[in-house]
Structure 1
Amino acid sequence: MNFISLEYATLFCVVFVLYYLFPRLQITILLSASLFFYGWSQPFELPLLLLVSMASSTVTYLILKDRFEPQRLMAYGIALNLLVLGFFKYKFLFIEPLTTRAPAGLMENLLYVPLPIGISFYTFHCISLIGDAYRQQFTKDDLSGGLNFSRFLRNGLLYLIFFPQIVAGPIVKAHQFMPQIGKKAIRDVPFAEAVKWIIWGLFFKSFVADNLAQFTVWMDQPATFQGLGRYDLLALLFCYSYQIFADFAGYSAIAIGSAALLGYRLPINFNRPYTARSFSDFWRRWHISLSSFLREYLYIPLGGNRHGPIRTYVNLFVTMALGGLWHGAAISFLLWGVAHGLALCVERAFAPLARNLPSKGVAAVALQIGYSGLIFALVSWLWLFFKLQNFDHAWLYIDTIINASRDLTFDGDQYALIAIYAAPVMFAHLIPKRISEKNSMLMATCYAAMLTLSIFDKGPTDAFIYFQF
């Protein structure tokens, strides 16, 4: 079910009314709504979702009860989730080579098992639930109902399948969410804040991302992009950079607003990433919940920066490479992660030299603006490997830019439309926050305009990019 569909609006309105009319049934209502929401698109994947979620909740319960050996339980629980994720996301790497040696039809049937929507996100939530319990980042005193097994299973299930974030995040750590579970009162709902999040997300998804998608569709196949000029291809590359931000940040904003209306706080997922002053700053601003998850559950357990510079570079590189593969079993995703890992390593290696550069004055400002522009350009180029997951197509796209026989094929009207739909992303990054915080009348007008454009100039595409992960 899509966040910007009439079905979702209807479901949410029904849930909202029942949720506050029957406060004693709030968790039951949320669980029912979450299962309905997920099952709307993939009803046959519900048993897998429930099996993995209940198994992870049971393992977590046993860890909190200090039963058996907590460390071994944690290892088994995390391994189970990684095996499930590995099968569905990487089965073509391991199963397809076996099809020639296995009985006819057996392996082929496994290959055609569909990828469950949101499996990467709810698997990470399962790992967080188990890991946070083992590290005692939440205890029985933080939980509604204590350690009663049925209540804990119910609460754990709510954390894992909570419908505003199950499909594409934000990734919420267990110790952030579990203590929030409890009875909610409508008087505590931050209506203005929640509605602003939803309008902002709807605008950036429907008006910005979906309209830009009309242009970036030219990038999808060699037969289409090879007929374009080099400046057209460059424009589309940056166009996709704006689109993927608007699409994913829009989803995250609607998720945050929806959860807030139900009394739950989800973490902010984007903070003006295209104004980043370095690659490490970019990862503090882009998909914040994923980058913090990788740091806390992968980079730090690998050793972080505690074992000297060489080990630090290796840990950075491995973390980003695995972060790329998390998105899918494709060379393009691996190269995307490797490129970001190398950039972080190079940046860290040259950090001492950067301290000798001017820190004040016109020269310092010019250097910082220039470096920020370089970061944005490189990040935008690397998004090509997200758009074209077939590496040969991505390489051909680059080759076409270099060797194109002409410069332009798009006309002025097409470039004007690209600029119009991309402009909100630039404004969102460049307008100082103090303006939006102090001028309430201006912001009310802006949100009214955003809602109007979302309704009356909605783009034709409505699928969210991150649904595929």
Structure 2
Amino acid sequence: MLFNSWEFVVLLVVTFGLFYAVPNIPARKCVQSIVLLIASTVFYGWEDWRLLGLLAVSCGGNTFATVKILQHRLNDHEQGVKTWVRLAVVLNLLLLGVFKYAGLVVGLFPFCSPEFVESVRSIPLPIGISFYTFHGISMVVDMSRGKVHAYDNLIRTAPRKTVYSNTFRDMGLYLLFFPQLIAGPIIKAHYFWPQIKAKVFAGIDWQRAFRYCVAGYFFKMVVADNLAPVTSVLQSSDYIASQNGVTLLLMLFGYSMQIFADFGGYSMIAIGLAALFGYRFPINFNFPYISTSLTHFWQRWNMTLSAWLRDYLYIPLGGNRKGACRTYLNLFLVMFLGGLWHGADWKFALWGTMHGLFLAAERFLGNRPALASVRIPSLVKIVYCFTVVACLWTTFLMPDIGTVFLFFRQVWTNFACTPADLLGNMSVYSVCLFGSLVVLYHVYGWLKEYRMTAWNGDMHYPRLFGCLYGAMIFLILTNSGPQCGFVYFQF
């Protein structure tokens, strides 16, 4: 079920009404959680109810492991905690590996027949599996580290049946909560679980919900959905071979704007929807295209994934505590695995590898005093960072590495272009029109950071912002593109 579908609107209205219709009784938290669980189950199983079985296995396995970890932690059985954490992590990674990476792995073995490899690769990828797998790992690790104390007293005093039922309910809500179920943001357990409490209608942050929902739907439906049919031509090697380098770069610019509008828009919608039910999600995108380095970019793009990789992978690997060489290796490994997380294909591994190399190179050069003292204008650094990021987006859009190399070869060898080539191309107009909206948004982000413009604080210019949101609502209603799925649903 898509956020931009009428089925979802109906589900949202019904769920919202039932959620806040629960009277002020001792079991209010429990009933409200169950309402959200039922709604999330309908939301996820709408297209294929069979996927709910996998969610049930993930939820049940993580619940059982969580209770065992809590019991061992409260009894100071450190070895028991480590054992159950390892088992739970293996379970989560096994589910992810079977459905997402089995085809890639069996293809590495020469003794596997092509028919067998193809049959394994044909296993359907459950939507959102990468996201709720990471949530499950966050849950068991945070419990083992003592960052979640919601059930300490319950473990000590309540019957085992009550412990498991309550933990299963809240674990299910954490994994299945529909705003973040399909494509994040990736919420850490110690951030989400303290928010599981009885909610009241008067506590809704209407301003946050309205602003994020309107902005999110605008970027998704007006910008991303209008750019998607235009930039999809880059998936065709015949099209790439027939175009000049300027046109190809403009199409790549359009895709760079599209993927931000699509994923950033989804994250904004998720934040707004969560606010309607009294939950506060962290910001996932912070004007990433004004970054001045790749390091800076990953502090702004998909911030919750970056934080997850840092806390549960980079730091456990040693981070930057074991010398320069180990730091560079850790950066490379984290980005390589982060690339594979995006898809079981070597083109995603190439994307992660290149990001890892650029991050390591930036860290190496930044540690050279002679180079670190060189002053480079911020605009030059922003252009450099955006160029690298945009060029690497080719691995996301294009079907294989061969098409990626064809793209860059065509840009390098056929850059000549006349004004007529561009003026007569309607795709160029679409890219410039809708891409400019993302550019203006990032210009606003730059003004926000360096001129203290209000966004999350008080509205210093209420009439201006009122007109802006009014215009976005008008464009959503009148100029939305053809309905498309979210880009990150495939991950």
Shorter-chain-normalised TM-score: which range?
Answer: over 0.9
Choose the corresponding residue for 1:87, options 71, 82, 98.
98
Deviation, structure 1 residue 415: 2.8
TM-score computed with the length of structure 1 as normaliser? 0.93
Please list, as runs of the form range in 1=range in 2, the aligned pairs for 1:444-459 lying within 5 A after superposition: 444-459=466-481
| Change in CA separation of 1:161 and 1:99 when aligned onto 2, cut-off 3 Å | farther
Render the CA deviation track for 1:296-333: whole Å, top value 9, x for unaligned. 00000000000111111111110001000111121211
1:351 is displaced (CA, Å) by 1.0
Check if 1:262 corresponds to 2:262: no
Counterpart code for 1:2: L
Q: Which amino acid aligns with 2:442?
A: H
Answering whether residue 428 of structure 2 is matched by residue 415 of structure 1, we say yes
Q: Say if 2:390 is the partner of 1:380.
A: yes
Per-residue CA deviations over 1:30-89 (Å, capped at 9, x if unaligned) read 000000000012211110111111111210111012177110100010011111111111
Q: How far apart are the structure 2 equivalents of 1:268 and 1:317? A: 26
User: How many Å separate the matches in 2 of 1:232 and 1:144?
Assistant: 63
User: Residue 18 of structure 1 aligns with which residue?
Assistant: 18
- Name 1:317's counterpart in structure 2: 332
Q: Tell me the residue number matched to 1:308.
A: 323
> What do residues 229-270 of structure 1 show as CA deviations (whole Å, max 9, x unaligned)?
211001111111111001000000000000100011111100
Q: Distance in 2 between matches of 1:241 and 1:109?
A: 34
1:339 to 2:354 alignment: yes
The secondary structure found in structure 2 opposite 1:3 is coil
| Aligned counterpart, 2:4 | 4
Q: Within 2, Cα distance between the matches of 1:85 and 1:316?
A: 23
Report the secondary structure of 1:438's partner residue: coil
TM-superposed CA distance for 1:405, in Å, is 7.6
Cα offset, 1:368, TM superposition: 2.3
* 1:233 and 1:401 in contact (8 A); partners too: yes
Q: Is the 8 A contact 1:144 1:181 kept in 2?
A: no
Q: Which deviations, in whole Å up to 9, do the C-alpha atoms of 1:147-174 show, x marking residues without a partner?
A: 7221111101100111110100000000
Q: Which residue of 2 aligns with 1:116?
A: 126
Work out whether residues 208 and 421 of structure 1, in 8 Å CA contact, stay in contact via their aligned partners in 2.
yes
Give 1:352's aligned residue.
Answer: 367
In the alignment, what sits opposite 2:288? 273
Q: Kindly state the Cα deviation for residue 101 of structure 1 after the two structures are TM-superposed.
A: 5.8
Find the counterpart in structure 1 of residue 379 from structure 2. Answer: 369
Whole-angstrom distance in 2 between the partners of 1:96 and 1:313: 29
Contact residue 299 and residue 315 of structure 1 kept, 8 A: yes
Name the CA shift for 1:161/1:143 in 2 (closer, same or farther; >3 Å).
farther
In angstroms, what is the RMSD of aligned CA positions? 2.3
Q: 1:143 to 1:263 in 2, by over 3 A?
A: farther
Structure 2 Cα separation of the partners of residues 238 and 153 of structure 1:
45
Change (3 A) 1:261 1:188: same
- 1:15 partner amino acid: T
Aligned to 2:482: 460
How far did residue 352 of structure 1 move? Answer: 3.1
What is residue 243 of structure 1 aligned with on the other side? 258
Out of 34, 40, 44, the residue aligned to residue 40 of structure 2 is 34
CA contact (8 A) 1:333 1:389 kept: no
Work out whether residues 204 and 278 of structure 2, in 8 Å CA contact, stay in contact via their aligned partners in 1: yes
Query: Contact 2:63 / 2:164 at 8 angstroms: preserved in 1?
Result: no
The 1:451–1:60 alpha-carbon spacing in structure 2 relative to 1, beyond 3 Å, is same
Which consecutive unaligned segments of at least 5 residues does structure 2 have? Answer: none
Question: Is residue 144–residue 182 contact of structure 1 (8 Å, CA) maintained in 2?
Answer: no
> Which of the residues 127, 137, 149 maps onto 2:164?
149
Q: CA deviation at 1:211?
A: 1.0
Q: CA deviation at 1:98?
A: 7.1
Contact conserved, 1:143 with 1:181, CA < 8 A, in 2? no
> What is the aligned-residue identity percentage?
40
